[in-house]
Amino acid sequence: MSTVKRTFAKTEITDNLLEQLISRESTFEITGLDAEGAMTEMVERVEKTIESQNKTCRVYTAGRSAAVAAAAIPTGITQVTGVAAAIGIGLHNFATFNPDYEIAKHLMDKKLSVDKQEVMMENGEKKSRWSLLGDIVIAGAGALADSVTNAAEKSVRQNGSKEEIKNFMQQKNQFAQQRQRTRQTFMHLTGNDKTAQAYCRGQSTEKTEMINSDTPAPALDLQRITMDRELGVEFSDDNRTLQKLTCKYKLPESGSYVIPSGIETIGECAFKKRENLAEIIIPQGVTTIEEFAFFGCKNLMRSVIPESVAVIGELAFADCEKLSDIVIPEGVETIGDGAFRECGMTDLVIPAGVMIIGERAFSNCKKLKRVVFSDSICLTTMGDYTFDGCENLTEVIMPDNIITISNFAFKRCPCEDRFKHKYPNTLEAILSRTASNIFE
C-alpha cells in the first residue's frame, strides 16, 4: 500500500489509471474539479472503480462534521437541525463502517481526496459494521446516541444474521446496565429521595417502597437457587440468570413465583406460555428482562418490577391479557418492541427514565384508557404503532419535550387526531428533508 499522496489533475484521470491506483491501494487526490457537476461525476467514477474491485468506500464532505457540531450547540432552531444532521452522518457512517477507502470532497478547494484506510480486523476477518454498536452507544450521548442506536438496531434486525442480532442486543443490554449502575451511583451520591419523587407522581407508597433503588441489591440466595434447580428451574452456571421455569416445576395454587435474590437477568422465554402463572415478584438487582420472558402467560395478573431493571425486552410481557397491575419503575430506560402488547392495564405511567419505546410496545391493549408521560421524561424515540389499536385510549398527557413520534404511534386510537400536528416536526421528518444536503 502506497502511503505517499499523489496529486492528479482532472484531465489526467483515465479509467485505466483509476483501476491501477485502486489495485495498488494508493492514496491520491484529484484537483481541478471546478466545473459544474465535475465533483459529483468524479466521485461516481472513483466509487464505481473501488466497488468493481470488491472494496468498500465512504464518501463525506470535508469540514462538515465541524459545522454540524457547531449547529448542534443549543441555540434555538439550529439545535434541532444540527442534531438531525448529526444523526444523518451517524447513520451514514454506520452503513459504510470500516471502509477500504474514504473519499473526501473539498468543496472550497475544488478537489477530491481518496485515502486508503487501515481496515479493522476482528477474529481474523474484516470487522463487521454490526459490531459498531458499542462504539456508537459508548461514544455518543443523549438523543444522538439513542437515535443512532435505534436506527442501527432496526438495520441489523432487517439485514443481520441471528447470531449478529443476538450479539447486537447483548451489547445494547450491557450498555443499558452500565448506564443504570452509573445512574444509581449518582442518585446515591446526591441523596435524591426516590420515594418522595415517586409519591409526588401519584404512585402508592406501598409500591414505591418495593421498587425504591436506595435499597441495596440482595446477595445471591444460593440455598433457594439450589432448591429451585432441583424442582425444575434452570439457572446459568454463575447463577445470575434464570433461564427457564420448566414444566417439571409445580407452581402453588396461588400461581405466584418469587424470583430468588441475586438474579440479574430473566432469560429469553424463561416463563413463556406458563398459563398457570398468576403473579411474578422480581427482586431488586435484576437489570434485564429478556425477549419473550413472560410471553403468552394468559393468567398473569400482577408483576412487581424493581427499580433496578433497565431493559424490558422485545415481547417480554406480550399477550398477557389479564396483566392489569403493572408499574414501570423509574430505572427502566428501554421498552422493547411489543413488550406489553395485548395486556390488560387500564392506566399507564411512563416514567422519566424511559428513553426508547419500541414498535407496538403497547399495541392492542384494549382496556387502556389513560397514559401519562412524566414531565421530565428523557424519551427520544417512540416506535411505529406504539399504541396502535388501543381502542379505549382517550386521555394522553404528554410533555412538549417528546420530540420523536411516529406517524402511526396512536393509530386506531380515539385520540389519534390530537397528535397529527406533531408528526412533521419529528427528527425523522427533519432528517428525511435534509438527507440530500447532508450527503451531497
CB 415 within 8 A of CB 393: yes
Predicted confidence at residue 377, as pLDDT, reads 82
C-alpha cell at 42: 468524479
CB 307 within 8 A of CB 212: yes
Pairing mode of beta strands 233-235, 256-258: unpaired
Q: Mean pLDDT over residues 292-318, rounded?
A: 94
Do residues 227 and 272 share a domain? yes
Q: Is residue 99 part of a domain?
A: yes
Do residues 148 and 62 share a domain? yes
Q: Which of 353, 355, 318, 356 is nearest to 339 (CA)?
A: 318
Give rounded-to-5 percent helix, strand, coil for the chain: 35, 15, 50
**Number of structural domains in the chain:** 2
pLDDT, tens digit, for every residue of 420-440?
Answer: 555 444 444 444 434 433 333
* Winning range, highest mean pLDDT, from 85-94, 121-130, 138-147, 248-257: 248-257
Q: Which of 365, 409, 361 is nearest to 384 (CA)?
A: 409
Do residues 210 and 113 share a domain? no
Supply the Cα-derived Rg of the chain in whole angstroms. Answer: 26
pLDDT-derived band at 120 (thresholds 50, 70, 90) equals: low
Q: Is residue 56 part of a domain?
A: yes
Do residues 376 and 430 share a domain? yes
Return mean pLDDT, the chain: 75
d(CA 14, CA 343): 64
For 406, other C-beta atoms within 10 Å of its C-beta total 19
Q: Is residue 170 part of a domain?
A: no
Do residues 56 and 114 share a domain? yes
Q: Is residue 174 part of a domain?
A: no
Within the chain, how many helices (H) and strands (E) appear? 11, 22
Q: Is residue 176 part of a domain?
A: no
Predicted confidence at residue 182, as pLDDT, reads 46
C-alpha cell at 201: 407522581
Residue range of the domain that includes 37:
6-159
**Residue type (1 letter), 410:** F
Q: Which domain CATH number covers 332? A: 3.80.10.10
Do residues 30 and 153 share a domain? yes
Phi-psi region at 273: left, alpha or beta (left = phi > 0; alpha = psi -120 to 50): left
pLDDT of residue 319 exceeding 90, the answer is yes
For 73, other C-beta atoms within 10 Å of its C-beta total 9
* DSSP output for 327-351: ---TT--EE-TTTTTT---SEEEE-
pLDDT, tens digit, for every residue of 329-356?
Answer: 988 999 999 999 999 999 999 998 888 8
Q: Is residue 166 part of a domain?
A: no
Q: Kindly report the pTM of this predicted structure.
A: 0.53
Q: Is residue 301 part of a domain?
A: yes
Choose one of 159, 191, 221: the last residue of a domain: 159
Do residues 121 and 263 share a domain? no
Do residues 145 and 214 share a domain? no
Predicted confidence at residue 108, as pLDDT, reads 79
CB 307 within 8 A of CB 285: no
Do residues 60 and 195 share a domain? no
Does residue 276 or residue 147 have the better pLDDT?
276
Q: What is the DSSP letter of 355?
A: -
pLDDT of residue 170 exceeding 90, the answer is no
Do residues 197 and 155 share a domain? no
Q: Mean pLDDT over residues 81-110, rounded?
A: 63
CA distances from 435 to 61, 73, 171, 184 (A): 13, 20, 28, 38
What's the distance, CA 312 to chain centroid?
12
Q: Mean pLDDT over residues 284-301, rounded?
A: 95
Predicted confidence at residue 18, as pLDDT, reads 93
pLDDT-derived band at 79 (thresholds 50, 70, 90) equals: very low
pLDDT of residue 248 exceeding 70, the answer is yes
CB 233 within 8 A of CB 267: no
d(CA 369, CA 19): 64
Do residues 412 and 281 share a domain? yes
Q: Mean pLDDT over residues 311-319, rounded?
A: 95
Q: Is residue 334 part of a domain?
A: yes
pLDDT, tens digit, for every residue of 386-420?
Answer: 999 999 999 998 887 665 577 688 889 888 777 65
Do residues 190 and 323 share a domain? yes
Predicted confidence at residue 434, as pLDDT, reads 41
CA distances from 314 to 45, 169, 252, 286 (A): 44, 10, 28, 17
